[in-house]
Amino acid sequence: MSESFYDILNISKNASEEEIKKAYRKLAIKYHPDKAPIDKKEEYSEQFKKISEAYGILSDSEKRNIYDRFGKEAALDNDQGHSSGHGVNPFDIFNQFFGHGGGAPMGGTFFEMNGEIPPGFGGGPFPHMNRQGNKAPPIQHMIEITLEEGYQGLEKEITYKIMNDDKEEEKTITIEVPKGCGQSIKMIKKGVGNIKKNMDQGDLMIIIQVKDHDLFKVQQNNLILEKKIKFGTSLLGVHFSIAHINGEIINITTRGQICNEEIRVISGLGLPHLQNQELGDLIIKFEVEKCREFNESEQKLLRELFDFDHDTRLNNENIESYEALTIEELQEHMNDDNDEGQIPHGEQVQCAQS
């Protein structure tokens, strides 16, 4: 029994239009022949055709209804002469889905970030691909921007060199870096690259690198702030100010005790989302400095202020006692005992005798 179109796209028979599109996008990218290993070209090409055929039917409500009622052959026979019928070119469906040849969004510019296309920016993972004819080799150009610039978005003039057949020429264009660009992104400007006789003009691939920030790291559209605090501060709450990448100074306050590696979140102080411009969050990760040793009077005061666990050690001279070491202490012992080949498993201590 042959696979159903639903099985091919790995969706249920009740899948929505959006679920069908999402499944096709994922599988078409995964099995595109341009991404196939050398020894799996044929396998990927065949799977790519199946995926395209399934999407061509299920993405159209009328064709899908015929398929559900009468099966695959009926749906394909009814669709003869159309783009999704027998003899379909799977690359035509791919190009139509991802926007190739149909008027590129943002003035012929495509984006790719971490190997994926930011939703809402059109294009696909193969924006340089041109199945209609040969294309001159692409040019790669790299620029750097600050996190502040990526937050705001900017227009930037770049100058690059192309080959016009055998002659080198210098070109200057203005690019628009989208607002919310907090991580490195690849921008493809179609048809502004190398020129070669009897070929379509090549593309310009611009790698936009976001410089490391002194204060923040970026995770999706969230800003990550790693904050070290003293032990005393961790007990009573934290109060501090920072310069945000939006250009403002903000005050930050926490209530209650902060534990080591605890996370606090401030909603809406992250980066704008590339698609809908919704602001992410500011995520604060706290690192509490190791507290110093307390003298006897300080220990007495602490016992008056806080509850402590009871000492459950058994006072028996036949029971061995050990002190658990910190990682740092263990490493020091390992270094000291390295010549002797000994690795300590803890410090043996003597129980107090009553």
Q: What is the CATH number of the domain that holds 225?
A: 2.60.260.20
Task: Confirm whether 224 is domain-assigned.
Answer: yes
Could you report the per-residue pLDDT of 62-99, keeping only the tens digit for each? Answer: 889 888 888 888 777 665 544 434 456 777 777 666 54
Task: Confirm whether 301 is domain-assigned.
Answer: no
Final residue of a domain: which of 98, 119, 145?
98
Dist. CA 324–CA 161, nearest whole Å: 64
In order, the DSSP letters of 113-136 are BTTBPPTTS---S-TT--TTS-BP
Residue 163 confidence (pLDDT) above 80: yes
Task: Say if residue 111 is in the same domain as residue 187.
Answer: yes
Burial 56-75 (b: 16+ CB within 10 A, else e): bbbbbeebbebbeeeebeeb
Task: Say if residue 200 is in the same domain as residue 221.
Answer: no
Task: Say if residue 220 is in the same domain as residue 206.
Answer: no
Task: Confirm whether 333 is domain-assigned.
Answer: yes
Could you report the per-residue pLDDT of 295-308, keeping only the tens digit for each? Answer: 889 889 888 888 87
Q: What is the DSSP letter of 48?
A: H
Could you report the per-residue pLDDT of 23-38, keeping only the tens digit for each? Answer: 998 898 888 877 778 7
Rg (C-alpha) for the chain, rounded Å, is: 31
Q: For residue 164, what are the contacts with CB-CB under 8 A and spacing of at least 6?
A: 194, 195
132 vs 59: which has the higher pLDDT: 59
Q: Mapping DSSP to helix (H, G, I), strand (E, B) and coil, where does residue 307 land?
A: coil
Task: Confirm whether 160 is domain-assigned.
Answer: yes
Final residue of a domain: which of 160, 182, 211?
211
Task: Say if residue 207 is in the same domain as residue 125.
Answer: yes
Final residue of a domain: which of 41, 65, 98?
98
Could you report the per-residue pLDDT of 187-232, keeping only the tens digit for each? Answer: 888 889 999 998 999 999 888 889 999 999 999 889 999 999 998 8
Task: Say if residue 37 is in the same domain as residue 88.
Answer: yes
Confidence (pLDDT) at 88: 61
Task: Say if residue 206 is in the same domain as residue 252.
Answer: no
User: What is the overall mean pLDDT for the chain?
Assistant: 80
Task: Say if residue 111 is in the same domain as residue 205.
Answer: yes
Dist. CA 171–CA 53, nearest whole Å: 42
Task: Confirm whether 124 is domain-assigned.
Answer: yes
Task: Say if residue 281 is in the same domain as residue 243.
Answer: yes
Task: Say if residue 207 is in the same domain as residue 111.
Answer: yes
Residue in 230, 249, 233, 229 with CA at minimum distance from that of residue 241: 249
Task: Say if residue 11 is in the same domain as residue 91.
Answer: yes
Query: Count of CB atoms within 10 A of residue 51's CB?
Result: 25
Q: Mean of the pLDDT values across residues 257-274?
A: 90
Confidence (pLDDT) at 102: 35
238, 285 contact by CB (below 8 A): no
Tokens for 268, please give them.
């809406």
Confidence (pLDDT) at 268: 92
Domain extent for 316: 311-354
Dist. CA 350–CA 309, nearest whole Å: 21
Kindly indicate the confidence band of residue 101, based on its pLDDT and cuts at 50, 70 and 90: very low
Task: Confirm whether 300 is domain-assigned.
Answer: no
Task: Confirm whether 303 is domain-assigned.
Answer: no
Task: Say if residue 117 is in the same domain as residue 197.
Answer: yes
Task: Say if residue 36 is in the same domain as residue 59.
Answer: yes
Confidence (pLDDT) at 57: 92
Confidence (pLDDT) at 340: 55
Confidence (pLDDT) at 119: 42
**DSSP alpha helices (H): ranges in 36-186?**
41-58, 61-70, 72-78, 90-98, 105-108, 147-152
Domain count for the chain: 4
Residue 251 confidence (pLDDT) above 80: yes
137 vs 330: which has the higher pLDDT: 137
Task: Confirm whether 299 is domain-assigned.
Answer: no
